[in-house]
Amino acid sequence: MEELSEKKKLSTLQPTGTFPNNLDRFICHLGLQKAQLAKELGVSPGTLSHYISGRRAVPDDRRIQFSKLLKQSVDDIFPAPKALPASDKQQLQAEGDLYASQAMVLSGSYHQLKNVHQQQILAFPPFLESNSSVSHSSVGMPSTLHTVSRFETMTPETLEQLASLTVHCQHLSEGNELGTAEQVLWSYLPRVEDVVKFSFDSQQRAAEIASQGYLLAASLAGHRSNLWERKYRSEQALLYGKLAGNISLQMVALRQLAITFDCLQRPDLVLHISEQTFSHFRDVSPLLRACIYAGVSGAYAQLGQQQDALRFMERAYEHFPTNVDSEPYYLHTICRYSTLVFFDGLNYLEMNQPRKAEEILGSIDGLHPKIQIPERVRIELLKYQVEVFLALNSMEQACVYLEAAAKASLVIGSQRHFQESFHLFLQMQQKWKMEPQIQQLADLFLRERLLNQTKSL
């Protein structure tokens, strides 16, 4: 009965941005921990999250509380709503339609899903053709692919060569070659899609390859900070996974969708999507089960449901396999042991236990990793550790780890990682304005901004 009540409560929430405010900006500037702020307000962390995202209206008495705690006027925090231009109204309607479409991701047929996605496709640029400036030899692309046109009949052997390229692109993305990985991926993925559309004999295998390609494309879009494209690419992966009849690919695509909504601070949708995978757990690998459980644990922690968060994290560790080498390669893009450690540490940060979070994240450590992890994962860990050091008021460690994260983000070309590092810097600047280490970090971000401005001239 309690579970039913909670679902009913979540279903009454409005789309993100319905009640606009500047809460997140002022909270970040003051370097406040949201768990502690929720406690001072007398609300759950989940309710505070809904206030910040604009999904729930903030009552007048709460507005006054926010004004006192954030040291800003009510009008500055909660500006009067402006009339939306027609384009923005259409965008809000589109977002509502996208959220509603999640209810049919497993129950809907291939053709139903295809109709949904055809309505969204115009929001994104057309697929890149084979005009990449990257040479085939420099990335290990088979030279035989030079002669394959998009509409030429493709042999099974050539199709498998294209499948091997997805593995190669994943390896590139785990190093310092995010841009190269994306260029190579789009040089052949449209060809695979053509096989799905026009070839009966090879349709199922081509659909599997297309699904795997879109799983990687979703992650790469996330590194460009384009979460809506990330969501769309994940849904395309799901679409082709259904056409291939491959339950594992469908479950990974749903996990990609859940990650996108986690980035959008929508833990309720993370739970909604993840729950759809539970009935298929017998058909998926232990590694994927473990990472889905970890994601569910993180969503419950954000909603302030500590016992559920701890329970699902325990399940995640229980299901993690002893031999990950036997797992499908495409799982490693979003599923690895560090995934569990990250959620575990961040859960304790949400629970206002930063010392425990420091201990858990330090078991891997981003500055001097104790296990082998891809560079993009190491940067993620560095940023999480900076959040912990902010909570612990450990300025020197925060500065060292943030500098490492920002510089590494530039090396691999991850816009998302660099932007998130900059937002962490703003919190540190607000907290330790006059310290020389903070000024040194400011110089780093300023130099990069000036460099980007020069490149754009």
Residue with tokens 């490149």: 455
If one counts every other C-beta atom within 10 angstroms of the C-beta of residue 329, the result is 12
Going 271 to 273 to 274 to 278, the CA torsion angle's sign is: positive
Examine residue 355 and state whether it is found in any structural domain, yes or no.
no
Task: Please check the confidence at residue 59 and state whether its pLDDT lies above 60.
Answer: yes
Examine residue 34 and state whether it is found in any structural domain, yes or no.
yes
What residues contact 123, with CB distance under 8 A and at least 6 apart? 94, 228, 232
Burial status of residue 251 (CB atoms within 10 A of its CB: 0-12, 13-18, 19 or more): buried
Task: Please check the confidence at residue 416 and state whether its pLDDT lies above 90.
Answer: no
Q: What is the pLDDT of residues 242-291, one digit of tens each?
A: 999 999 999 999 999 999 999 888 999 999 999 999 999 988 899 999 99
Residue 14, pLDDT score: 60
Number of domains forming the structure of the chain: 2
Q: How confident is the model at residue 433 (pLDDT cuts 50, 70, 90)?
A: confident
Range of the domain at 441: 374-452
Q: Are 71 and 203 in contact (CB under 8 A)?
A: no
Q: What is the pLDDT of residues 100-124, one digit of tens each?
A: 444 444 445 445 554 544 444 333 3
- Residues of the chain with pLDDT > 90, as a percent, come to 40
What residues contact 400, with CB distance under 8 A and at least 6 apart? 367
| Full DSSP string of 256-299 | HHHHHHHHTT-HHHHHHHHHTTGGGGGGS-HHHHHHHHHHHHHH
DSSP category for residue 43: S
Examine residue 29 and state whether it is found in any structural domain, yes or no.
yes
Of 79, 106, 132, the last residue of a domain is 79
Examine residue 191 and state whether it is found in any structural domain, yes or no.
no
Examine residue 45 and state whether it is found in any structural domain, yes or no.
yes
Burial status of residue 298 (CB atoms within 10 A of its CB: 0-12, 13-18, 19 or more): buried
Q: CA-to-CA distance for 17 and 259, rounded, in angstroms?
A: 20
Q: How confident is the model at residue 201 (pLDDT cuts 50, 70, 90)?
A: confident
Examine residue 15 and state whether it is found in any structural domain, yes or no.
yes
| Full DSSP string of 297-350 | HHHHHHTT-HHHHHHHHHHHHHH--S-GGGS-GGGGGT-SHHHHHHHHHHHHHH
Examine residue 171 and state whether it is found in any structural domain, yes or no.
no
3-state SS track over 146-171: HHCCCCCCCCHHHHHHHHHHHHHHHH
Q: CA-to-CA distance for 71 and 295, rounded, in angstroms?
A: 34
pLDDT winner (highest mean) among 41-55, 164-178, 406-420? 406-420
Q: CA-to-CA distance for 69 and 73, rounded, in angstroms?
A: 10
Task: Please check the confidence at residue 6 and state whether its pLDDT lies above 80.
Answer: no
Q: CA-to-CA distance for 392 and 280, rounded, in angstroms?
A: 41
Q: How confident is the model at residue 329 (pLDDT cuts 50, 70, 90)?
A: confident
CATH code, domain carrying 21 = 1.10.260.40
Query: What is the signed CA dihedral for 68, 72, 77, 82, rounded to 10 degrees?
Result: 140
Residue 177, pLDDT score: 82
Of 79, 103, 134, the last residue of a domain is 79
Q: How confident is the model at residue 385 (pLDDT cuts 50, 70, 90)?
A: very high
Examine residue 146 and state whether it is found in any structural domain, yes or no.
no
Q: How confident is the model at residue 424 (pLDDT cuts 50, 70, 90)?
A: very high
Of 60, 79, 98, the last residue of a domain is 79
